[in-house]
A and B are shown apart, each in its own frame.
Chain A
């Protein structure tokens, strides 16, 4: 079951990041399939929790550097077949049936997916279409994308873990919004990384990041991190503003979105404080 969980986690990332490298309508299908695999991950996680089985989010690195989409599609189909063969380890027969049914459909759809050349996603040219970046702006943007793509993946998993272990409807509503927000950011940054030829799957998350004991402290730290991210977005918007109005507007938009995340975390913190008092 732990191997199955890890396989689903890795397949989800492979699917999601294959979506980033696509520049055709394949992308939307791959995003939808990635959503389904993430949902499978949460089902299996719930099974662990119900059966009081310890688990973690550790994964192996997911190699994605290919020249053509069909190489990744073949790799994903193999991953899905491995998942199918491991499904017997799941305790919940209904979940097993639903995952199997989804996978059969996804495999059949992937097999028909038109091929694409995706070399651009890994060429490390760090050029953005129709944008002229200074060396300084290019370096700043590169570092930002690596930092933040990892951070958004980390946040998805942290909030997902918190949500999985909480029966509190108020907090879970906030956790779910934050997960959705991080998905949006991850997709924005992943697409930009592919455009710039620097696409890579984030590294595995250390257990102590999501298995924390003190929710209050986690939320306080999270608010500080979001404030830091806002500053970083502001700096970046300034650094790229001469090169690209589009980028400057995008980072100002992301910066303003962080205000919403801060407000949500403050709301959660006030609620936890009130409950504790």
Chain B
């Protein structure tokens, strides 16, 4: 990751970090390769296209994951579920263009958000539906390590 000024700000002061005890849904993104994970918590305003009133995340992972969590949750705060789905698609669509170790972190956060949205949606018809967890597909081994 190139550490430009904006990214440094997210490292120094990650936005929306921490557990949200009173949430409407939680979703998990996992990296089965190394055990890293991201949890995303949502507070939702119900409607036909529900609104993400508040969002937070926690991570067992590297600094890149925390930066990705900080950026993606900032983008998702205050938007509707349909806009959040677009945000997830855009993020997942960009993964090929970034180094694999960074791509894996962004994918993990995007999938945690997707899992949280899906958990909320499922709970509208089955209130006891368990938290959804998605596994990433990206291999996070840096290119130079694969070649060596």
Contacts and interface: CB of A to CB of B under 8 A. Distances in A.
A209 B35 CA distance: 11
A61 B8 contact: no
Contacts of B19: 58, 204
Nearest to B57: A203
Interface stretch (A99-107, A143-151, A169-177, A257-265): A143-151
Contacts of B2: 139
Interface string B17-38: 1110000000000000000000
The interface size bin for chain B is: 20 to 34
Nearest to A136: B2
A17 B112 CA distance: 31
Given A143-B1, A150-B63, A204 B18 contact: yes
B13 A61 contact: yes
Interface string A171-210: 0000000000000000000000000001110011010110
A138 B58 CA distance: 27
Contacts, number: 55
Interface string A204-245: 101011000000000000000000000000000000000000
Contacts of A143: 1, 3, 63
A65 B58 contact: no
B90 interface: no
Given A198-B11, A198-B12, A209-B60, 15 more contacts: A58-B18, A58-B19, A61-B17, A65-B12, A122-B12, A124-B5, A139-B2, A143-B1, A200-B13, A203-B14, A203-B17, A203-B59, A206-B39, A206-B58, A208-B60
17 contacts: A58-B18, A60-B18, A61-B13, A61-B14, A61-B18, A124-B5, A139-B1, A139-B3, A142-B8, A142-B11, A143-B3, A146-B63, A147-B62, A203-B14, A203-B17, A203-B66, A208-B60
